[in-house]
Amino acid sequence: EAIRRGCRNWQWCAWMRWTIQRAPASSASQPCYSSIVIRNDNSQNADFPRNYSKREKKPFPIPVLELRRRARQRMKEAEGKPRGPPPPPKNGLLVQRLIPEAYRVYNARISLINNLKRLMKVVPVKGCKYCGEIHVGSVGHPFRTCRGMSSDKRKGEHDWGSTFVEAVFLPVEAYHLEDRLGPRIPHDQRFEVPRIPALVELCIQAGLDLPEYPTKRRRKPIVKIGRKEFVDANEDDLPDPEPDKFKEPILEEVSDDEITPPSSPEETAALAEETLKMWETLRNGALRLMKRYSVRVCGYCPEVHIGASGHKARNCGAFKHQQRNGQHGWQAAVLDDLIPPRYVWHMPESGELQKELKIFYGQAPAVVEICIQGGAQVPEKYKATMRLDIGIPSSLKEAEMVV
Residue 78 lies in a domain: no
Is residue 332 helix, strand or coil?
Answer: strand
Residues 121-176: tens digit of each pLDDT: 999 999 999 998 999 999 999 999 998 898 899 999 999 999 999 999 999 999 99
Residue 345: enclosing H or E segment and its boundaries? strand 343-345
Q: Is residue 367 part of a domain?
A: yes
The reported pLDDT for the residue numbered 74 is 93
Within 8 A by CB and 6+ apart from 246, the residues are: 96, 99, 100, 103, 207
pLDDT at 41: 57
pTM: predicted TM-score of the whole model, two decimal places? 0.85
User: DSSP assignment of 236-288, as one string?
Assistant: TTSPPPPPPTT------PPPGGG----SSHHHHHHHHHHHHHHHHHHHHHHHH
Q: For residue range 83-136, what is the model confidence (pLDDT) as tens digits?
A: 888 899 999 999 999 999 999 999 999 999 999 999 999 999 999 999 989 999
Percentage of the chain with pLDDT > 70? 89
| pLDDT tens string 51-68 | 878 888 899 999 999 999
- Report the chain's mean pLDDT, rounded to a whole number: 86
Q: 9-26: per-residue pLDDT in tens?
A: 444 444 444 444 444 444
Q: Is residue 20 part of a domain?
A: no
What confidence score (pLDDT) does residue 178 get? 93
**Domain contains 15:** no
231: amino acid identity, one letter: V
Confidence at residue 403, expressed as pLDDT on a 0 to 100 scale = 62
- Contact present, 182 and 129 (Cβ < 8 Å): no
**pLDDT at residue 33 above 50?**
no
Closest CA to 123 of 348, 370, 349: 370
pLDDT of res. 28: 40
Question: Does some domain include residue 12?
Answer: no
The answer, yes or no, to whether the previous bond of 89 is cis (omega within 30 of 0) is yes
Does residue 3 have a pLDDT over 70? no
Predicted confidence (pLDDT) at residue 39 exceeds the cutoff of 80: no
Contacts of 232-238 spanning 24+ positions with Cβ under 8 A: 232/92
Domain extent, residue 104, equals 86-291+339-401
> What mean pLDDT comes out for the span 190-212?
95
- SS3 of residue 84 by DSSP: coil
Q: What is the mean pLDDT of residues 385-390?
A: 84
Answer yes or no: is 132 within a domain: yes
pLDDT class of 393 with cuts at 50, 70, 90: confident
pLDDT reported for residue 84: 83
pLDDT band at 401 (very low <50, low <70, confident <90, very high): confident
pLDDT value of residue 389: 78
Residue 220: inside a domain, yes or no? Answer: yes
**What count of other Cβ atoms lies within 10 Å of the Cβ of residue 45?**
13
The domain total for the chain is: 1
Residue 227 lies in a domain: yes
Residues 370-374: what's their mean pLDDT?
Answer: 94
Share of the chain above pLDDT 90, in %: 62
Q: Which residue has the higher pLDDT, 47 or 212?
A: 212
pLDDT reading at 1 higher than 50: no
In the prediction, which pLDDT does 55 show? Answer: 85
What was the pLDDT predicted at 42?
A: 56
